[in-house]
Amino acid sequence: MAVLEVSEPTTSLNHPRTPRVARVSSGSSTAAVHAGAQHPHAYHSLTMPVVETATYTFENTADLCAFQEARMWGGGNGRVEYGRYGNPTVADCEARLAALDHGDAAILFASGMSAITSVLLAMLPTGAHLVIGDDCYRRTRQFCLTFLKRLGITTTVVPMGDFAALENAIQPNTRLIVSESPTNPYLRVVDLVRLVEIAQRHGVKTLIDSTFATPVNQHPLDFGVDLVVHSATKYLSGHNDLLAGVVVGRAGLVDSLRQALGVLGGVTDPHAASLLTRGLKTLGLRVQKQNANGQAVAEFLSAHPRVSRVWYPGLPSHPDHATARAQLLGYGGVVSFEIDGTLEDTSRFIDALQIPLIAASLGGVETLVEQPALMSYYELSTEERLAVGIKDNLVRLSLGIEDADDLIADLAQALG
């Protein structure tokens, strides 16, 4: 059970404020609807207004100097001077995201990649080393192995779930362990208890990309993980209509990252933050439906003769089913599977589907389907793809909120 905490917003809303939501014990659906909201909003608006401004005014020089003095002493006086340092609509969304993930504070970024790259750039000095899992978002791996390498920061990629390899990879200069959980596209689930135990023993910080789980299905911070990131483009916003990323953690660490955001500049537009807040209000409903659709579709596919393998953590056949049962509150809305056939057979199956749209991404209300070999890994040869574990006959299905019966009927006709 989370506790909704009402904290002072970092930016002034310019109206007298007596917060109405105080320390309400809540589950994630309640938090998704109410957490962080500071009622009354300006004009007694029920929703947080979109404060669409790039900068903020001062009444006179004395007002400016009072602000600068307060800022020099660290706290600030409840306002900011420029949009890259804060925005009330963005701050409102961040408070809700922090509560949902059981963190003290959250920072929104322009995209999931902006969140990941900013955090890594801020946390890793030249000469540092980090460890990442091999079943990892392709652009995260690319950032570590190319951009960070240029800055003299080295990366070791370890096989998912191999804790001996993980511990062996740790060096005296290792600062961070980065992993997704569940991973893309095989939905591998990291045992966070073991991960945190190893990291803490070596004094190394941990970062989990929890995009596939959402705070409805997993709370990595409760396991002692230091930072959680999400591509809010996916489930958190839920409607495939914006890009955003978020990092959540304890106050001290997140505050130092906020300084980096002001320099690196990957801030979120207030309008996107407002859309994200609206999306969050239905997060609980959407993810429960997507969990149910995921389980139903995974069970249907695993019983189908034309499907040779199904990857879904809610199936006992999944290699991490036991960890998933212990750690997750729901198994999620993504199902990956292999068609019994070639690259072309798999494409024919995808083209025969009526409901799912062919698109990269996941987590929205529309079911999306993709053949990773032709979507994210098109420029690689079959051999190169196999080396990174992507088979030609692999399909990734991101379930939306349609009716499971309709989705299953569609899959059945396309397989036939």
- From the candidates 137, 235, 331, 377, which is the catalytic residue? 137
Q: For residues 133 and 184, what is the distance between their CA atoms, to the nearest angstrom? A: 11
Q: For residues 312 and 397, what is the distance between their CA atoms, to the nearest angstrom? A: 11
Site string for ligand PLP, 121-150 (x = CB under 6 A): ----------------x-------------
- Please choose, from the candidates 266, 211, 268, 220, the residue with its C-alpha nearest in 3D space to the C-alpha of residue 242: 268
Strands laid side by side in the 357-358 sheet: 307-311, 334-339, 394-398, 368-370, 357-358
Q: Closest residue to ligand PLP, Cβ-based?
A: 112
Give yes or no for a contact between 36 and 96, defined as CB atoms under 8 angstroms apart.
Answer: yes
Residue 326 has φ and ψ, to the nearest 5°, of -75, -30
How many residues form the binding site for ligand PLP (CB under 6 A)? Answer: 13
Chain positions 196 to 225 lying near ligand PLP, rule: CB under 6 A, are 209, 211
Site string for ligand PLP, 151-180 (x = CB under 6 A): -----------------------------x
Q: Which residue has the tokens 């839920």?
A: 238
Contacts for 174 with CB less than 8 Å, ≥ 6 apart: 128, 129, 130, 131, 202, 204
Select 237 or 293, whichever has its Cβ closest to ligand PLP.
Answer: 237
Residue 269 binds ligand PLP, judged by CB under 6 A: no
Assess whether 84 carries a catalytic annotation.
yes
Site string for ligand PLP, 371-410 (x = CB under 6 A): ----------------------------------------
Up-side HSE of residue 285: CA atoms within 13 Å toward CB?
Answer: 11
Residue 336 binds ligand PLP, judged by CB under 6 A: no
SS3 call for 250: coil
Numbers of helices and strands, H then E, in the chain: 17, 14
Q: For residues 86 and 93, what is the distance between their CA atoms, to the nearest angstrom? A: 12
Select 284 or 332, whichever has its Cβ closest to ligand PLP.
Answer: 332
Select 175 or 234, whichever has its Cβ closest to ligand PLP.
Answer: 234
- Pick the binder of ligand PLP from 100, 113, 192, 390 (CB under 6 A): 113
Assess whether 20 carries a catalytic annotation.
no
Residue 233 binds ligand PLP, judged by CB under 6 A: yes
DSSP state of 269: P
- Pick the binder of ligand PLP from 132, 187, 243, 273 (CB under 6 A): 243
Residue 245 binds ligand PLP, judged by CB under 6 A: yes
Active site residues: 84, 137, 209, 234
* Binding-site ranges for ligand PLP (CB under 6 A): 111-113, 137, 180, 184, 209, 211, 231, 233-234, 243, 245
